[in-house]
Amino acid sequence: MLLKRDKRFATINILSIKGTIMQEETNVSAVSSAEGANPLQPSEKLSNRNLFMYALGTFGRDFLYNLFNGYLLSFCVFTKNLNTAQFTAITFIIVAARIFDAFNDPIMGGIVENTRTKWGKYKPWQLIGCVTTAGVIITLFCVPAQGWAFIGLLAAMYFLFSITYTMNDISYWGMMPSLTSDPHDRDKLMTFTQIVVGLAGGLCGLVVPTFAMGDHPLGGSATSAFAIMGIFAGVIMVAFQMFTILGVKEKPLSTHLMKTPPMKVKDMFKVLTKNDQLLWSTLVLLLYSTGTGVVNGGLGMMYVYFDNAYNGTLWMLFGIGFAAVSAVFTVFYPAISKKFGRDKLIYSGGISLIIGYALMMIFGLTVPKIHLFSVLGMDFNLRFILMLIANTIAGWSGGFYMIMVINIANTVEYNEYKTGRRDEGLIFALRPFTAKLSSALNQGIVSLVYIVAGVLTYTNRITDIDRKLSSETYEHVIADVQANGQDSIKILLACMCLIPMVFMAITLIIYKKKFKLNEAKMTEMATVIQARKAEEEAVETEEAQVEMTEVENELKHGDVETQEEQSVDENLAVASDNSQDIENNI
């Protein structure tokens, strides 16, 4: 009888087994019948609910991130009176915190991947991250510190932001590949999400320069305006994240995943280092983001102010053509990618950026500032208009980032193709990794250019005007720059044009030589993955059928333990173990 207690079929419900087998047979039949169809078209499609709820969730996140990433230096130089030592300290804090943040991303990706809750592995971190990030941003922009006290506050808040925003960012983007593996649906999801990202960035690019800087800031000063912007950004981040947290319907974590032990740190890095296409995609995205980020990170805005007027609306108008062309690319991406393929669109975007910035530099150095017209108190000259047109040409490159994010998502299937595991959360952690590391690099570059060009000499005077500590006017400061600071203006122009061009050229060379996940390769991988899954399901079904046959035979011969017999066996086993313990003690 003791031997019977080890039989694993003693308490199996026969009807349950039959139902399971019938379901598995149905699944296998469905897979087999679909073998003649496109292997990239799985049976479960992306729902409209998930499409809209997921994409809407990023609006507040991206507004906040654009405020923090794109205008933090502006907040520092236009609301704080800084000496060179303090500005150098700010630069060090930003670069160090961003590097820490970047290398923290894969760790957070592993934590998300190891999370097992009834709410899934993404949503708990999205909620914690959005609430804590809102608190950090509101504190940073609202506490009225100056001098070294502000430097200390910035250091604390920046490193906290590196942790809190990472919680939200990794879990948000890690969710995307898990919602669909279908290439068409993934393109549609990324396109709609990128539209929302563009709207958030566009709104931030409109309201922050217009209402936080210039002659008429919100609240009467740039200091008050940035405080209002910080509160607004924190509130809408939490509000819009609720669309994703409460609205997206995820697949429940599989029983197999729930039983899988947590991944060790060394195994996390093995996953990343063995996925060569992920590493090349990350490098390409890093170079692109670093090169183009210096323009929106401060160089472009400072050049427009110094060469024209301290008016936030001018900087908004300067980038409106770029934003419009990028939006057109994003909206029509599914159609044009289907016709031309991702590779051709990547090359066209890179070439348009190089041409656009080359023209911008030529116009900036050679075209005179001939007055053309005035609107709402703003003077527009020939040089500004031509440079705006050149920037619009470069706007076609805005789709480069979206395509590379899709390519990183595709490396999830590449990982499954090579190893049998998807590891979406861990793999997609490298997207924010590139954003943070590139931000560290371009913020360091921008700060260095500011120091070399002597920007602080003029921005400190603007800060004193904003704080009512000077009787000067903004117009007087800008006139002084244009009369005595032409070297500063030319340094800003050269750096904002040459840096993106050089980085983009290197990016295109690497992409051409190393990247291979085109549409044909994706089709090949999908075929292999589907065949492998069908084979695994067939083996599981066969094993289940064998188990059912064994149980039926046992029932037929009366060889199955009753519950009472099993209970007696267990008690005897416990008594036997206790007797052995007593004997050992004696």
Residue 533: the pLDDT is: 78
Domain coordinates in residue numbering, the chain:
49-251+260-517
Q: Is 2 helix (H, G, I), strand (E, B) or coil?
A: coil
How would residue 304 be classed by pLDDT, with cut points 50, 70 and 90? very high
Q: Is 23 helix (H, G, I), strand (E, B) or coil?
A: helix
Q: Mean pLDDT lowest for which of 178-187, 205-214, 232-241?
A: 178-187
Say if residue 59's pLDDT is above 60. yes
Query: In angstroms, rounded to a whole number, what is the distance separating the alpha carbons of residues 505 and 514?
Result: 15
How would residue 33 be classed by pLDDT, with cut points 50, 70 and 90? very low
Segment 364-410, tens digit of pLDDT: 999 999 999 988 778 899 999 999 999 999 999 988 888 888 888 78
- Give mean pLDDT, residues 185-201: 85
* C-alpha Rg value of the chain to the nearest Å: 30
Say if residue 586's pLDDT is above 50. no
**What is the amino acid identity at position 249?**
K
For residues 580 and 346, the model is more confident at 346
Q: For residue 541, give every residue at least 6 positions away whose Cβ sits within 8 Å of its Cβ, in sequence order, or none.
A: 21, 24, 25, 28
Strands (E), 367-514: 371-375, 378-381
Say if residue 579's pLDDT is above 80. no
Whether residue 536 contacts residue 24, with contact meaning beta carbons closer than 8 Å, is answered with no
* DSSP state letter for 220: G
Residue 348: the pLDDT is: 93
Superfamily of domain 49-251+260-517: MFS general substrate transporter like domains (1.20.1250.20)
How would residue 29 be classed by pLDDT, with cut points 50, 70 and 90? very low
With the C-alpha atoms ordered 273, 277, 280, 281, is the resulting torsion angle positive or negative? negative
Query: If you average pLDDT over every residue of the chain, what do you get?
Result: 80
Query: In angstroms, rounded to a whole number, what is the distance separating the alpha carbons of residues 176 and 191?
Result: 12
Tell me how far the alpha carbon of residue 58 is from its chain's centroid.
Answer: 10
Query: In angstroms, rounded to a whole number, what is the distance separating the alpha carbons of residues 294 and 213?
Result: 20
Q: For residue 166, give every residue at least 6 positions away whose Cβ sits within 8 Å of its Cβ, in sequence order, or none.
A: 101, 104, 105, 108, 129, 432, 436
> Distances in Å between the alpha carbon of 334 and those of 198, 349, 409, 518?
16, 15, 16, 15
Q: Mean pLDDT lowest for which of 160-174, 227-241, 247-261?
A: 247-261
Strand-pairing partners, residue 79, are: none
For residues 214 and 171, the model is more confident at 171
328: nearest Cα among 393, 385, 396? 396
Residue 14: the pLDDT is: 38
With the C-alpha atoms ordered 66, 473, 378, 494, is the resulting torsion angle positive or negative? negative
Tell me how far the alpha carbon of residue 408 is from its chain's centroid.
Answer: 11
How would residue 17 be classed by pLDDT, with cut points 50, 70 and 90? very low
Q: Which residue has the tokens 């527009």?
A: 380
Say if residue 434's pLDDT is above 60. yes
Q: Which residue has the tokens 């933090």?
A: 72
Q: Mean pLDDT lowest for which of 107-121, 216-230, 505-519?
A: 107-121
Residue 494: the pLDDT is: 95
**DSSP of 93-142:** HHHHHHHHHHHHHHHHHHHHHH---TTTTTHHHHHHHHHHHHHHHHHHHH
Residue 449: the pLDDT is: 93
Query: In angstroms, rounded to a whole number, what is the distance separating the alpha carbons of residues 354 and 358?
Result: 6
* DSSP state letter for 310: S
Q: For residue 366, give every residue at least 6 positions away whose Cβ sits within 8 Å of its Cβ, in sequence order, or none.
A: none
Whether residue 12 contacts residue 561, with contact meaning beta carbons closer than 8 Å, is answered with no
With the C-alpha atoms ordered 231, 234, 238, 240, is the resulting torsion angle positive or negative? positive
Please provide the distance, in angstroms rounded to a whole number, between the alpha carbons at the two ends of the chain: 29
Buried b (16+ CB within 10 A) or exposed e, 264-293: eeeebeebbeebebbebbbbbbbbbbbbbb
* DSSP state letter for 213: S
The kind and range of the H/E element at 161 are helix 147-179
Query: In angstroms, rounded to a whole number, what is the distance separating the alpha carbons of residues 279 and 404?
Result: 12
**DSSP of 240-302:** HHHHHHHH--PPPPPHHHHHSPPPPHHHHHHHHHH-HHHHHHHHHHHHHHHHHHHIIIIIHHH
- Give mean pLDDT, residues 331-337: 85
Whether residue 429 contacts residue 408, with contact meaning beta carbons closer than 8 Å, is answered with no
> Does the model's pTM come out above 0.75?
no
